Chains A and B, each alone.
Chain A
Amino acid sequence: MKELKLLKGNEAIAEGAIRAGADAYFGYPITPQSEVMEYLMAERPEQRTGMIVLQAESEVAAINMLYGAAGTGKKALTSSSSPGISLMQEGLSYIAGAELPCLIVNVARGGPGLGTIQPSQADYFQATKGGGHGDYRLITIAPASVQEMFDFVALGFELAFKYRNPVMILSDGLIGQMMEKVELSEQKPRATEFDQSWATTGTPANREQNVITSLDLDAGQQEVHNKKLQAKYKKIVENEVRYEEFQTEDADYLFVAYGSSSRICQKAMELARNKGHKVGLLRLISLYPFPKDIVRELSFRVKSILCVEQSAGQMIEDVRLAAGCEIQIEHFGRMGGMIPIPEEVLEALEQKLIGE
């Protein structure tokens, strides 16, 4: 029998973490993601699975607790919203440098600065290009429904351990605050099937000491380490591209969007098709690795592209890089926490692409 529940996106992250067999959650409250920790605290996962939930004294503390827990090979996660994620960037760079698997959830809100508490997608650059220092990448996946908020926690842990790399779920206040039907999967064990021989779990007599660090003062050694990281990122780019296509077969015009904007574009697409415009949608699921091959392929087939983002235009830079020809690529977005509505997207399509 299917186990169905009506959950907020934030609650689905929390239930997803328990059911994915997470060992620990560290966080600090911030709107619009506070329900993640609220739900976890209320569910008493220490009784359900032995999972630990801890409210840290700040986001800086939370990310460093995550660093420590991940270093022991445990399945750990944190969540925050934009300003809190900015505070975590130093820790994220260290975690990426030390190659530790863990999960970071950003339920993004309007910025810059403290900004607003309303939904935004203006953290794309930070999530995909590295908000901290050094040559590193986060695997970044963008859920577009409450079901995916639940499912992507398990997926995120899988990718994190497969590559020994931090994974970010980039969501926003719209998906975090909305409620939808979620089909819950069965409880997974807390143990992971992936190799953990690198973890600091106490040194037995028959092996060398494991060291977790991002520091190597020998520049030559640091370059060797960087080359190893780059080889790993290359593998991620080759193997972990994810996207979804909607009615692209006969499309003259293409929306490219991710997360909540892709939901809004689906409705705009319906409205456009009702008016006789052949519009398709490419919904990006992995933002790093960026699905550049499909963007390139579609750019040869459609007349023009409209990138829809709740930002001044960030993803559009990657779309332009990936597009293989001199095709018209335009941006439509709202900023600062304003949510675009389907009719606005349709108007932008008609004005910018179709020329009506």
Chain B
Amino acid sequence: MTEEIIIAGFGGQGVLSMGKILAYSGIMQDQEVSWFPSYGPEMRGGTANVTVILSDKRISSPVLRVYDTAILLNQQSMDKFEESVKPGGILLYDGNGIANHPSRKDINIWRVDAAAEAARIGATKVFNMIVLGAYLQIMPVVKLENVMEGLKKSLPARYHHLLADNEKAILRGHEIVKSINKLG
């Protein structure tokens, strides 16, 4: 199994750390992983993206043109990456601020209103964990227990009291993701 993922959105949305958590979870279940960020002069409010690959085999190129899954968190990312999803692949997006919704018929499209949900529960910091939860509901590439194990390993101990909130956010993402276009 090889899963090639692009996650794209605004800087500050937790795009890079969401990718890192996925990569760490992959290591926890003995997979090969790669994580390559756009590292230009980006900043909070600018655009950020990261390519994450999880595989049972040695990973070749860490940079790709097409992906199994695109997780798109703003309009610029939608404009840039909708066409980059492989036919039959997955596009997951947050509806917040999206004017031009994805229109492809040859891919599975899912929507998670994570920004609205994070605002509703008053926890904007777990926005990316809600998105991650939505993704793992559609495509359980890593097990929840391995995500939590990965989080524990990657977060300094002083943040471990936040683990429970993160887990709750992931579970909330499982619940609120909805299918927009489903292939037969």
Contact B39 A32 (CB under 8 A): yes
Is B144 interfacial (CB-CB < 8 Å)?
Answer: no
Least distance between A206 CB and chain B CB atoms (Å): 53
Could you tell me if A178 and B40 are in contact, using CB atoms closer than 8 angstroms?
Answer: no
Of the stretches A290-298, A324-332, A335-343, the one at the interface is A335-343
Tell me whether A117 and B27 are in contact (CB under 8 A): no
Complex contacts, B20 vs chain A, CB 8 Å: 6, 179
Instruction: Report which of A31, A177, A343 forms a contact with B36, defined as CB distance below 8 A.
Output: A177
B60 and A263 contacting across the interface, CB-CB below 8 Å: yes
How many positions in chain B have a CB within 8 Å of any CB in the partner chain? 22
Q: Which residues of B contact A266 (CB under 8 A)?
A: 60-61
> Separation in Å of the B51 CB from the closest CB of chain A?
9
Query: Could you tell me if B60 and A267 are in contact, using CB atoms closer than 8 angstroms?
Result: yes
Do the beta carbons of A117 and B64 come within 8 Å of each other?
Answer: no
Question: Of residues 63 to 112 in B, which have CB atoms within 8 Å of A's CB atoms?
Answer: 63-66
Q: Judge if B33 is at the interface, Cβ distance under 8 Å.
A: yes
User: B63 to A180, Cβ gap below 8 A?
Assistant: no
Cα(A118)–Cα(B63), bound, Å: 13
Instruction: Find out whether the CB atom of B39 lies under 8 angstroms from the CB atom of A6.
Output: no
Contact A174 B62 (CB under 8 A): yes
Q: Which of A174-198 contact B (CB under 8 A)?
A: 174, 177-181
Q: Which residues of A contact B60 (CB under 8 A)?
A: 263-264, 266-267, 269-270, 342
Interface residues of B in 1-45 (CB under 8 A from A): 20, 23-24, 27, 32-37, 39-41
Task: Kindly list 17 other residue pairs between chains A and B, CB separation below 8 angstroms, not including A6-B24, A32-B39, A342-B61.
Answer: A6-B27, A31-B39, A117-B39, A118-B39, A173-B39, A177-B36, A180-B33, A180-B59, A181-B33, A260-B62, A263-B60, A263-B61, A263-B62, A267-B61, A270-B60, A342-B60, A342-B63
B: which residues have CB within 8 A of A? 20, 23-24, 27, 32-37, 39-41, 59-66, 154
Can you list 8 residue pairs at the A/B interface with Cβ under 8 Å?
A: A6-B20, A6-B33, A118-B39, A178-B35, A179-B34, A269-B60, A341-B65, A342-B61
